[in-house]
């Protein structure tokens, strides 16, 4: 009899599935698996759900949108693929599944490797540099298309250009886009477009397909021709998930050929809308201008005076000016006459009288001579008085009476005995010469000069 399990021995389904998932993820490394896709579903989120099967078994797989886009593979029902992923378990349903990280078409591993090697080499050479990308003209005069004349992509491009810009001519540079030698022919068509220089922008395009179908656009010859092309190039090869070397070298990548046609052509509807908008703006601007000019014209019309009225006012101003000039001339003439009369009066008073002038000159001459004689006499008297004073004050006259002048060594005259020191040498100036003496204070009374 089996023992009855306790409450602690029972686990939930969620716990069981989580334990199984942990065991699967920890016990099995990421592996490469090959098989056929079936039950493919691509959700609105972009995630892909499918089964990978062989002749005797199948396993559920999930590939999330970012990894699917990065792989560059367009999944299809029945497609043989090789994928690398992690074995896990979807807990909500208990489904064992593969979480796909990388996927490629079966047998195309060497093509992918060649693609990656060429991509890395061309990138190292700078063929993918964004700085080398040229701007696509917004209003090209002509558009060139490099593709096959039988390709559905050409019909998509032509219909799109006819709808968006029917006035722009389209020039086809025909070339095969698939098969042996297609890459060299595509490169030749690109170089021919560059030499002819008859278009402003070039579309290189073809429809979607497998990596083998698109391989011509992964060849180095096409990449070199694109890099050397003097015309801006838009690549529209395959579908949105398809990436080729051509996309990286071109000046612009479009997701589809139709998208490439839309990128190089201005929208007719949009231009008509812009023209209509500009027309309305111009109409409003002209309306405002007409309104302003009309108001300005009315204002000027109110200021406009009839020529007859203007002439009448000018005649009135001319008559008033003439009257003022007449009055001013008369006033100036009257003033001039008064000035002339006054000048005649002053001139009559200043008229010369020779006889009276001669008598006046004689009188003034006699008076001048008398004044000079009197002044000369007064000057002589004053000079005599000054001379007597100078003679009286002359020190030489005093010395002639027996006096002497005592001088110190510096030549200053001695006025008091107190200015002299014991034994000091002095000079005695006499009327007829000078002599030296020495001061002796030990003899002589106060007020005397002891020698």
Residue at 342 is within a domain: no
Domain count, the chain: 4
The Cα–Cα gap between 253 and 245 comes to 11
Q: Could you give the strand order of the β-sheet that contains 143-147, starting from the edge strand earlier in sequence?
A: 170-174, 143-147, 201-206, 233-237, 252-253
- Average of per-residue pLDDT values in the chain: 86
The Cα–Cα gap between 451 and 436 comes to 10
Contact between residue 449 and residue 417 where contact means Cβ atoms under 8 Å apart: yes
Looking only at the bridges linking them, the beta strands covering 405-407 and 233-237 are: unpaired
The Cα–Cα gap between 125 and 226 comes to 14
Find the CATH number of the domain harbouring 239. 3.40.50.261
Residue 155, Cβ neighbours under 10 Å: how many? 13
pLDDT confidence tier of residue 293, bands split at 50, 70 and 90: confident
Q: Which residues on adjacent β-strands are paired with residue 413?
A: 407
The Cα–Cα gap between 143 and 416 comes to 135
Phi–psi pair at 100, nearest 5 degrees: -80, 130
120 plus 245 within the same structural domain:
yes
Predicted confidence (pLDDT) per residue in 227-258, tens digit: 999 999 999 998 877 788 999 999 999 989 99
Residue 146, Cβ neighbours under 10 Å: how many? 28
Helices (H) and strands (E) in the chain, counts: 12, 13
171 plus 255 within the same structural domain:
yes
Residue at 328 is within a domain: no
Contact between residue 414 and residue 406 where contact means Cβ atoms under 8 Å apart: yes
67 plus 126 within the same structural domain:
no
Cα distance from N-terminal residue to C-terminal residue, the chain: 175
119 plus 262 within the same structural domain:
yes
The distance from CA 346 to its chain's CA centroid, rounded to whole angstroms, is: 84
Residue at 426 is within a domain: yes
Q: Which residue has the higher pLDDT, 312 or 305?
A: 312
117 plus 262 within the same structural domain:
yes
Question: What is the model's pTM?
Answer: 0.45
Residue 11 is classified by DSSP as -
pLDDT at residue 30 above 80? yes
Its domain, for residue 239, covers 113-130+138-266
96 plus 167 within the same structural domain:
no
41 plus 64 within the same structural domain:
yes
> Helix (H, G, I), strand (E, B), or coil: what is residue 412?
coil
pLDDT confidence tier of residue 444, bands split at 50, 70 and 90: very low
Which tokens belong to 365? 């001459």
Predicted confidence (pLDDT) per residue in 148-172, tens digit: 999 888 999 999 999 998 989 999 9
234 plus 144 within the same structural domain:
yes
The Cα–Cα gap between 252 and 262 comes to 12
Contact between residue 271 and residue 167 where contact means Cβ atoms under 8 Å apart: no
């Amino acid at each position: 009899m089996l023992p009855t399990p306790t409450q602690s021995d029972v686990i939930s389904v969620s716990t069981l599935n989580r334990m199984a998932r942990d065991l699967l993820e920890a016990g099995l490394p990421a592996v490469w698996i090959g098989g056929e896709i079936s039950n493919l579903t691509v959700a609105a989120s972009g995630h892909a759900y499918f089964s990978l099967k062989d002749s005797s078994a199948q396993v559920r797989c999930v590939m999330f949108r970012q990894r699917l886009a990065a792989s560059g593979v367009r999944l299809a029902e029945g497609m043989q693929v090789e994928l690398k992923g992690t074995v896990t378990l979807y807990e909500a349903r208990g489904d064992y599944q593969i979480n796909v990280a990388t996927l490629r078409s079966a047998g195309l591993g060497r093509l992918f490797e060649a693609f990656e090697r060429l991509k890395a080499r061309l990138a190292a050479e700078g063929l993918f540099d964004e700085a080398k990308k040229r701007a696509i003209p917004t209003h090209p005069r002509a558009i060139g298309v490099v593709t096959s004349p039988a390709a559905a992509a050409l019909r998509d491009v032509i219909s799109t250009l006819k709808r968006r810009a029917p006035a722009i001519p389209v020039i086809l540079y025909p070339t095969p886009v698939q098969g042996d030698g297609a890459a060299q022919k595509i490169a030749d068509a690109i170089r021919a477009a560059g030499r002819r220089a008859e278009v402003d922008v070039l579309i290189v395009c073809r429809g979607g397909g497998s990596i083998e179908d698109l391989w011509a656009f992964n060849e180095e010859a096409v990449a070199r021709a694109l890099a050397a092309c003097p015309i801006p190039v838009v690549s529209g090869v395959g579908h949105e998930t398809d990436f080729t070397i051509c996309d990286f070298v071109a000046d612009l990548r479009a997701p589809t050929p139709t998208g490439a046609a839309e990128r190089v052509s201005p929208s007719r509807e949009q231009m008509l809308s812009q023209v209509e908008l500009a027309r309305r703006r111009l109409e409003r601007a002209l309306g405002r201008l007409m309104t302003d000019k009309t108001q300005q014209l009315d204002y000027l019309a109110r200021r406009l005076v009839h020529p007859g009225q203007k002439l009448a006012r000018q005649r009135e101003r001319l008559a008033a000016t003439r009257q003022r000039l007449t009055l001013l001339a008369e006033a100036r003439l009257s003033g001039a006459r008064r000035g002339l009369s006054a000048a005649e009066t002053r001139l009559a008073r200043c008229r010369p009288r020779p006889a009276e002038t001669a008598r006046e000159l004689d009188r003034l001459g006699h008076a001048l001579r008398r004044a000079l004689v009197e002044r000369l006499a007064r000057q002589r008297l004053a000079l005599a008085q000054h001379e007597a004073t100078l003679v009286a004050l002359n020190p030489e006259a005093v010395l002639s009476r027996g006096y002497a002048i005592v001088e110190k060594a510096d030549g200053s005259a001695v006025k008091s005995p107190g200015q002299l020191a014991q034994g000091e040498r002095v000079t005695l100036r006499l009327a007829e010469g000078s002599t030296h003496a020495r001061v002796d204070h030990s003899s002589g009374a106060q007020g005397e000069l002891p020698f």
